[in-house]
Amino acid sequence: MIKKTSIIAIHALVLFIVLPFVVNAGWVITEESTDVHGNRMIQTTFIQNNFIRHETQSSIAIIDFKKKIITLVFSQYKVYWSGTIQQLKENSISAYDKQMEEMLIGLSPVDRIELDSIYNEIRAQLLDTNRVVNNNIAVFETSENEKILEYNARKYNIKLDTIIIESVWHTTEVKPYNHVDVNYMISFMKQLNPISGQGSISYTDEYIELLKSGMLLKSIEYLPDSNQQIIRVTNIREINIIDDFFIPPPNYREASFSDILYLMPLLEEEGKDYGW
């Protein structure tokens, strides 16, 4: 069996950029993600003037929607990488190809086939720029309500054909999107879609309308293995954020993409040590 840590690290890097989030303008939101196995992750999101900053225990992602620039910051090592979506794709593909060449050396024919299958699948996702919304996905409002924080939230079920694949709780009592160009944001995220492998749920008209009219406070994704990923907003408040908060500190070093990939497995191990 081939050790896949380096492959998974690359994929985790691009997935991190588009982790599920709620967008605001001059707001800070804390979300907790859990599953049935006891895994837990905290993410804090800051947004103001078309900038978004996501923070977890191990890393930071900053997105400038106007300039279409993504910046990945690793505070433990005081380094960062910054580039466009196209640069992210090109660097990811280049890294895949280089690792393929190195890992094929000395492998048995069986392991070569396994490695080829893994790389070809991920590489195809990176190159795919023509994904379309699945017309079999639809959002249905229910009659169920829940009090989350101090807000009243209505439950919506998201179905693929006849199967409920996700439930979300939406409130109209707080409307952070009033000061954000949602259409511009969705356009930007669609460009990231081939990189992240994210599904098309977030791009349905009904889902986008929920974001425009209020805020999602909770979601439950029903996974094929009977697992559930639950994301709940645990804190939300309006604040003023200084512009410098959306750029790396001046004493941080700009790293190459290959340096960032090297750090990913190290950060993953640190996360295990601290129970992230």
pLDDT, tens only, 198-246: 445 665 778 778 878 898 999 999 988 778 999 999 999 999 999 899 9
**Bigger pLDDT: 56 vs 181:** 56
Q: Are 182 and 160 in contact (CB under 8 A)?
A: no
Mean pLDDT of the chain: 78
- Residue 203's φ and ψ, nearest 5 degrees, are -105, 5
Burial class (CB in 10 A: 0-12, 13-18, 19+), 166: buried
Tokens of 122: 């991920």
The CATH number of residue 102's host domain is: 2.50.20.10
CB–CB of 167/64 below 8 Å? no
pLDDT of residue 5: 44
pLDDT at 186 over 60: yes
DSSP result, 178-205: GGS-HHHHHHHHHHHHHHH---SGGGSH
Q: What angle is formed at CA 236 by the lines to CA 249 and CA 60, rounded to 5 degrees? A: 25
- Residues forming a β-bridge with 163: 160
Question: How many distinct structural domains can be found in the chain?
Answer: 1
CA distance linking residue 143 with residue 74, whole number of Å: 44
Chain-centre distance of CA 97, in angstroms?
24
Neighbours of 215 (CB within 10 A): 25
Lowest mean per-residue pLDDT among 21-35, 141-155, 257-271: 257-271
pLDDT for 4 equals: 45
Q: pLDDT confidence of 18, banded at 50, 70, 90?
A: very low
What confidence category does residue 43 fall into, taking pLDDT thresholds of 50, 70 and 90?
very high
Contact (Cβ atoms closer than 8 angstroms) between residue 92 and residue 100: no
On whether the CB atoms of residues 81 and 71 are closer than 8 A, the answer is yes
Contact 31, 233 (CB under 8 A): yes
CA distances from 215 to 57, 152, 191, 253 (A): 24, 11, 23, 36
Range of 150's domain?
A: 5-274
What average pLDDT score do residues 116-139 get?
A: 68
Q: What is d(CA 264, CA 74) in angstroms, rounded to the nearest whole number?
A: 10
Q: Which of 160, 219, 227 is nearest to 19 (CA)?
A: 219
As a whole number, mean pLDDT of residues 26-50 equals: 90
pTM higher than 0.85, yes or no? no
Task: Report pLDDT digits (tens) over 152-170.
Answer: 999 999 998 889 999 999 9
Task: For 100-115, write each residue's pLDDT tens digit.
Answer: 777 777 778 877 777 7
Q: Write down the pLDDT at residue 192.
A: 59
The burial of 253, by beta-carbon neighbours within 10 Å (0-12 exposed, 13-18 middle, 19 or more buried), is given as: exposed
Residue for token pair 């349905």: 204
